[in-house]
Amino acid sequence: MKALLAFRSLFLSQVRGFTLALILSLVTLAAGIALLGTSGWFITAAALTTAGLAFNLFVPSSLVRGFSFIRILARYGERLSGHDATLRLLSGLRGWLFARLFPRLPLADRSLRHGDLVSRLTSDVDALDTAFLVAIGPIAAALVIGAALTALLAWLLPGAAWLYGFCYGVAVLVVPTGLVLTSRAAGNAVVQRAADARAAVLDGIEGHADLTVFGVLGTAQSGFAATSRHLAAVRGRLSTLTAIAGFAVQALAALALAGSLWLGLSAFAAGAIDGPVLAGLLLAIAGSFEATSTIVRSVGKLTTAMAAAERLTAIAEAPPAIVDPATPAALPADTTLALTGVTFGYGGPPVLDNLDLAVAIGEHIAITGPSGSGKSSLLALLLRLADPQSGRITLGGTALPTLRQADIHASVALLSQHSPLFNDTIRANLRIARPDADDDALWAALAAAGIGDFVRALPAGLDTMVGEGGRTVSVGQARRLCLARVLLSPAKILLLDEPTAALDRPAEVAFFETLHQAAQDRTVIVVTHAAIPDGTMDRVLTLRNGALTS
């Protein structure tokens, strides 16, 4: 519940729509109960009347028709306004989550699997989104209706008021609370198991070739079947609890109706109540439990929504590893980079140990070194994706932590080992680096990355879709498209992590030569295993045991 409260401001933004939906749903329920009650009273009164033509026909018959039409219109309006507000909330929630996610990147929690993240974004947001429509709204409406009818009973049939109030209160408050408490674990498990199933499908597809080659499709299939059986089992457990709670609500309604009938007939025998009023009241009581019929399902949804809210807040409210300064320094025009005494590690022994490095404006340096020696970590520090445990990194003499991250990222562009292509056109993929780039700039960047001719030869040229994860192009071509994207960016400092990993030797040599020309007015830091062609780099440094040597 606490996690759910974290979203109250988003809920409040749609408060008008939700209030309208709530009022209309109350009108719908009240009209339904009034219709039954009035009808019961009317026919009983008519049956008892002896002077037929003296009976006032007009009032009850118009009430009956009026309640009917109010109910029809209110129902339609309630559903439409409720859904509209809900869907508005949905886009708000999605935007909110994205806005929360970006400052928290890269996520510290490594177990946050990709499929899991997708699940959080879609299912959890959906579950949270419908919380009002299917959970909070019906419970609130049932409470109001129950209170109103209890008050009416207290006036007309005081003996039954306490019994009805008690049964209704237990049905609307106690049973749902009990269900929430008992089904929490099952609700959490459902979300978790669904995420597992999603991750298993992703593993199956992305690892399809590996699974086929190793002849372990059987293991993959039985693993997935087990995952989906687990999902079915936890949903079944949730359903058992829901069915029990549903029985409890119905049993309470039965008790209220039978009890009121008995008490009402006692009162009737004692002459404390009219026959027609009693008939009307009993029909109204029977009708009032219409409001509780959906409550159990509502609670199921509420539990799911609370589990979703917890997961969403867990990811969205985690403190960002890197925070912008309150009063950021202006971005210096000078793009000199300097690291002094930088020590950095992931909890174990330091990867970078008291490292010093100065890179002048426009200097091109290469960093080589054994795998895992911390070259990629060094690049991450320059982008302030992480902060060193000690030491100082400056850009143009200004310490990185005093600058806005957006300013740092505008000056420093990265081609990482995992740089992805998006399922979009080549043009859109490139423009991520510079949204206003014209086609000439795109072609220049493609040429510099050595892939201009390839793209020119494609039937759709820049409008070619590259497919998910760049599937329709080879790994080498995807890599070059990513490189073109980095070259297109207006950043003055380029960080390239293994830019030639997928290139053959002639292409690799050509790349270094092109880079030398194409990035003449920019600072370049290349992390590479390749042999550097002579004259293409100003300096070549080796990172070993946490320190740089030339």
Partner 1 sequence: MTDTDRHNAKTLSSLRQHGGPWLWLSILAPLTAGALLVWQAWTLAAVLGSAIETGAALDTLTPGIALILALLLARAALAAIGDRAGTAAAEAIKAQLRATLFSHLLARSPRAAEQPQSGAASAAIVDQVEALDGFFAHYLPAMIQAAVLPIAFGAIILPLDWLAGLLFLVTAPLIPVFMALAGWGAQIATDRQARALSLLTGRFADRLRGLVTLKLFGRAEAETAGIVAASDELRRRTLRVLRIAFLSSAVLEFFAALGVAGIALYVGLTFIDYLHLRASPLTLELGLFLLLMAPEVYNPLRLLAAHYHDRAAAKSAIGEIEAQLGKLPEAPAPLADIKPMPGTGPIGLTATGLTLRTPDAARVILANADLTIAPGDHVALLGPSGIGKSTLLEAVARLRIHEGEIALDRRPLADWPEAELRARVTMLGQKPRIFAGSIAHNIALARPGASTSDIRHAAERAHVAPFADALPDGLDTILGEGGLGLSGGQAQRIALARIYLRDAGLILLDEPTAHLDAELEQAVLDDLKSYARGRTLVIATHSLAVAARMGRAWRIAGEALLPTPLPARKGKGVA
Q: Which CB sits closer to partner 1, 92 or 401?
A: 92
Q: Which CB sits closer to partner 1, 147 or 239?
A: 239
Shortest Cβ 448–partner 1 spacing (Å) = 16
Shortest Cβ 304–partner 1 spacing (Å) = 12
| 136 phi, psi to nearest 5 deg | -65, -45
Q: Which CB sits closer to partner 1, 9 or 221?
A: 221
Q: Report the candidate in 538, 159, 108 with the shortest Cα–Cα distance to residue 359.
A: 538
Dist. CA 34–CA 31, nearest whole Å: 5
What residues contact residue 68 under an 8 Å CB cut-off, 6+ apart?
A: 31, 35
Dist. CA 253–CA 231, nearest whole Å: 33
Q: What does DSSP say about strands 364-368 and 547-549: parallel, antiparallel, or unpaired?
A: unpaired
- Burial of 21: CB neighbours in 10 Å, binned 0-12, 13-18, 19+: buried
Dist. CA 147–CA 330, nearest whole Å: 62
Contact at 8 Å (CB) between 493 and 522?
yes
Q: Which CB sits closer to partner 1, 181 or 406?
A: 406
Shortest Cβ 395–partner 1 spacing (Å) = 15
Dist. CA 535–CA 444, nearest whole Å: 23
Shortest Cβ 1–partner 1 spacing (Å) = 25
Contact at 8 Å (CB) between 40 and 282?
yes
Q: Which CB sits closer to partner 1, 63 or 147?
A: 63
Contact at 8 Å (CB) between 542 and 549?
yes
Q: Which CB sits closer to partner 1, 121 or 147?
A: 121
Shortest Cβ 125–partner 1 spacing (Å) = 9
Dist. CA 482–CA 422, nearest whole Å: 10
Q: Give the number of residues written for the chain.
A: 550
Q: Which CB sits closer to partner 1, 147 or 540?
A: 540
Q: Report the candidate in 69, 123, 136 with the shortest Cα–Cα distance to residue 97.
A: 123
Both tokens of 113, joined, read: 């699997």
| 150 phi, psi to nearest 5 deg | -60, -40
Shortest Cβ 111–partner 1 spacing (Å) = 6
| 361 phi, psi to nearest 5 deg | -60, 130
Shortest Cβ 325–partner 1 spacing (Å) = 18
Contact at 8 Å (CB) between 433 and 494?
no
| 73 phi, psi to nearest 5 deg | -70, -40
Q: Which CB sits closer to partner 1, 498 or 538?
A: 498
Shortest Cβ 270–partner 1 spacing (Å) = 10
Both tokens of 491, joined, read: 């950043």
Q: Which CB sits closer to partner 1, 140 or 509?
A: 509
Shortest Cβ 210–partner 1 spacing (Å) = 5
